[in-house]
Amino acid sequence: MSRFLTFTLFSTLLILTSCGGGWSEEQKDQIKNKCIADGGFDCDCLLETVVKANANPEDYNNLSADDKSALVQDCVVEVEEEQEEELESF
């Protein structure tokens, strides 16, 4: 859950600084890169889900934390203990 909270806070910051009018490629890249860094999600799924469900970053920002969590629930992936250790060794 802390990964999701971190992702949500970062996404909210990005969205607050956006100028509206849809999702820019930079915003999409930042969300995907943050997702990759946090781990625990299929980041392509997460990005696609967020963009399809919200016409612009402002709409996404207006969702509650519970709604955001429910939105990306299908994108959560389980990381095996062995894989986590390998990821941490970078």
Q: Look up residue 78 and give its DSSP letter.
A: -
SS (H, E, C) 26-75: HHHHHHHHHHHHHCCECHHHHHHHHHHHCCCHHHHHCCCHHHHHHHCHHH
> In this predicted structure, what is the pLDDT of residue 52?
94
Q: Per-residue pLDDT tens for 20-32?
A: 568 999 999 988 9
Q: Look up residue 89 and give its DSSP letter.
A: T
> In this predicted structure, what is the pLDDT of residue 21?
67
What's the average model confidence in pLDDT over 40-60?
Answer: 92
Q: Per-residue pLDDT tens for 29-45?
A: 988 998 899 888 999 99
Q: Is the predicted pLDDT of residue 76 greater than 90, yes or no? A: yes
Contacts of 19 (CB under 8 A, 6+ apart): none
Query: Among 4, 3, 30, which Cα is nearest to 16's?
Result: 30
Query: Among 37, 77, 79, 30, which Cα is nearest to 51's?
Result: 30
Give the three-class secondary structure for 8: helix
Q: Per-residue pLDDT tens for 78-87?
A: 866 655 556 6
Residue with the bigger pLDDT between 11 and 54: it is: 54
What's the average model confidence in pLDDT over 46-66?
Answer: 91
